[in-house]
Amino acid sequence: MISEWQNHKAQLRYYVEKRIDDVDAVDDILQDVYIKASGNLHQLKSKGSLKGWLYRIAYNTIMDFYRARQPYEELPEDLVSEEDDTGKQARDELAECLRPLIDELPEKYGTPLRLAELEGVSQKEIAEQLGLSLSGAKSRVQRSRIKFREQMMACCDFEIGQDGITEYSPKDPNRNKKC
């Protein structure tokens, strides 16, 4: 490994120097590359790919160097945490928007969905209230969710992002039903 390292060391140094803004860190990064390469030499598939493998290790080590340097600000000591349930008001508003759509479902599906999703009733309690078995209540809630989703998709176009629904618009603004 040492002889192969010596063959590529000058090129790797140049590669690292061009990508690092701290000239004092170049030797440290090269040393890390050598340590990582010699410790993982058993992972090298063929000797012919050594140069590319060393460059990949160098690239990853450079990325680690920059990740470690990312600046951060200390949080102030007097920072007060927000209330535990800051989304309650938003959920309540959303529930009021969804309630008319749920009301359009047949009672067989609307009641379990309303209890489970809007009122936070457990499925065991739903079973007791509706005179169903627990598995029957679970099935009813699942079928209700499917029917509700179908109703929503028929009513509106949704834009879904990483944080869930980011935008929606009615498919037919003149529709008589509440969407």
Q: Residue 95: which residues within 8 A CB-CB, separation 6 or more?
A: 117, 118
Residues 105 and 98: beta-carbon distance below 8 Å: no
- CB-CB contact of 55 with 15 (8 Å): yes
What tokens appear for 128 in the block? Answer: 């007791």
Sketch the domain layout of the chain as residue ranges. 2-68, 88-170
Lowest mean pLDDT segment, chosen from 14-18, 61-65, 147-151: 147-151
User: Regarding the domain delimited by 88-170, which CATH topology (the fold level of the hierarchy) does it fall under?
Assistant: Arc Repressor Mutant, subunit A (1.10.10)
- pTM of the prediction? 0.45
In the chain, DSSP finds a helix count (H) and a strand count (E) of 7, 2
Q: How far apart are CA 144 and CA 154, in angstroms?
A: 15
Two tokens, residue 18: 């061009």
Structure tokens at 27: 């030797």
The average pLDDT across 60-67 equals 91
| Domains 2-68 and 88-170 are alike in CATH topology | no
Class for the domain spanning 2-68: mainly alpha
